[in-house]
Each structure stands twice: as structure tokens, then as C-alpha cells.
Amino acid sequence: MLTIIGIVALVVFTIQVYKTAAGTGRNAAAWAAITAVIGISIQFVFPVIIGIAIGIYYAATGTPVDRIEIEMFGLLTIISILGIVLSLVGMWLVTKHVSKVIDDDPRAVAPPPPPPTFDQGS
């Protein structure tokens, strides 16, 4: 169930970032790809790597193979939930950044006109 929620959030955030980036004049495809990579890596890749590292630790310390799954279940559930929460935070930060309107380059703006000179009536 949590995986489905994470996938739905990943798709929704990616689409939203694409639309927002296109509306603010940014590279929409690149920002959508960045959002997808952040979501996938934090939700799926990092928890798998952490799980493998913990499994290797348990195997190296001599925990019986049939007990490793039982020992790791609670910890991996917490890591999975934490991965989804951190993924949502990361994708939200990308959305927040992309939603900012890009200011015009101050050097590209024409300088103001010179102040008027009033004829003093000499």
C-alpha cells in the first residue's frame, strides 16, 4: 500500500513540476526528470541499499539466515516509510523552487531616462 502511494506521489509531482516549469519559463523536461530521479532514488534505491547493508551486517554477525527476515522486518518498514516521507519532501522542494518566477536580468532592462532639465528662464 505504501509503495502505491509513493508511486502515485512520484507521478503527480513529476507532472506538476513539468507544468509549473513550463509556465515559469524553465526547462520543463529537465526539471521533471530531476523530480523523478529524486523520487525514485530516495523511495526505492536508498532503502534497498540500506536493507542490503543491514542484511550483510546480520549475516556477518552470525544471525541465522531464517531469522534475518524476522529481525529486519520492523527496521525495513521504518526505513521504507522514512524513504517515502523524504522523497515527498525532496519533490516538494523541487516544486517550490520551480514555482518561483524568474526575475528579469537587471542588466537587460533599459536604464531610466535622464532627469528633465528645466529651463530657468535666463
In a domain, 122, yes or no: no
Structural domain for 7, as ranges: 2-98
Query: What domain count does the chain have?
Result: 1
In a domain, 48, yes or no: yes
pLDDT value at residue 7: 93
pLDDT digits (tens, 9 = 90+) for 45-96: 999 999 899 888 988 998 888 888 888 888 888 999 999 999 999 999 999 9
Q: Determine the Cα–Cα distance for residues 66 and 53; give it in Å rounded to an integer.
A: 17
Question: Half-sphere exposure of residue 42, counting CA atoms within 13 Å on the CB side?
Answer: 20
pLDDT band at 122 (very low <50, low <70, confident <90, very high): low
Q: Does residue 107 lie in a domain region?
A: no
**0.85 exceeded by pTM:** no
Cell numbers that stand for 68 in this block = 534475518
